[in-house]
Amino acid sequence: MKRHATFLLAAALAFGLPVAALAATPATPAPAASTITVKLADARAAQRDLWIGHVFWVRNVVDATFEGDAAAAKAAEGQVVANAKAIAGSIEPFYGQAASEKLFTLLAGHWGAIKGYLDATHAGDGAKADASFKDLLKNADEIAAFLGGANPNLPVDVLKGLLAAHGSHHVQQIKQFEAKQFDAEAKTWAAMTGHMYVIADALADGIAKQFPDKFR
């Protein structure tokens, strides 16, 4: 059921359905309250802050790009990279430095595909935008394979769906900024941030299951 709901979300976004159409998608159920320790709650909160930071700074780049503010866009891009390093660093205590560096490389690929789509859309180059979207989905599969390979509690197929949906949120947001559809973008932003909580909690919960002694 979880996998089915996840792929409904990814498919709806990938085929450009309105964000409102996603409201019927069942949310991923949280673990029972008795299973959430203080350390797990802290880990979830930390991951949520990191992933919300990702979409916040990417949105700033998108906004500044369409506003023609190169200085603001450059500053926000620096924060996107710093945030990616922080996300990658969050797994180092569990998987080591090499794994952290690998995740950072993959997250850099995620950002590169988003930036490619943004720049192509801003320039009116549909072919490059389509190519960047394909890169974004391919990168989502690579991140899913990496995380799922490191942790058996993170099913690769589920992660693929979650990350594909996340990438499609970025694409939808960029299109809405381009079209100056700000009311629609506000709805996308709400869906995007809520989806970040799903991804963040999934990562925190998966790590807690794999390393239970660290979360008691």
Model-wide pTM > 0.95:
no
Q: Establish if 1 belongs to a structural domain.
A: no
pLDDT at 186: 98
Identify whether 88 is part of a domain: yes
Task: Specify the pLDDT at position 155.
Answer: 97
Taking residues 60-80, report their average pLDDT: 98
132 lies in some domain: yes
Mean pLDDT of the chain: 88
Token pair of 204 as six digits: 């925190």
Query: Does residue 15 surpass a pLDDT of 90?
Result: no
The one-letter code for the residue type at 204 is: A
User: Is 161 within the bounds of a domain?
Assistant: yes
Q: Is residue 13 part of a domain?
A: no
Number of compact structural domains in the chain = 1
pLDDT of 36 reads 86
Q: Is residue 29 part of a domain?
A: no
- Give domain status of residue 42, yes or no: yes
Going by pLDDT thresholds of 50, 70 and 90, the confidence category of residue 121 is very high
Structural domain boundaries enclosing 74:
36-215
What does the pLDDT average to over 69-85?
A: 98
23 pLDDT above the threshold of 80: no
Q: In the predicted model, what is the mean pLDDT of residues 39-68?
A: 98
For the record, the structure tokens of 173 come out as 């947001």
For residue 28, being part of any structural domain is answered with no
Residue 16, pLDDT > 50, answer no
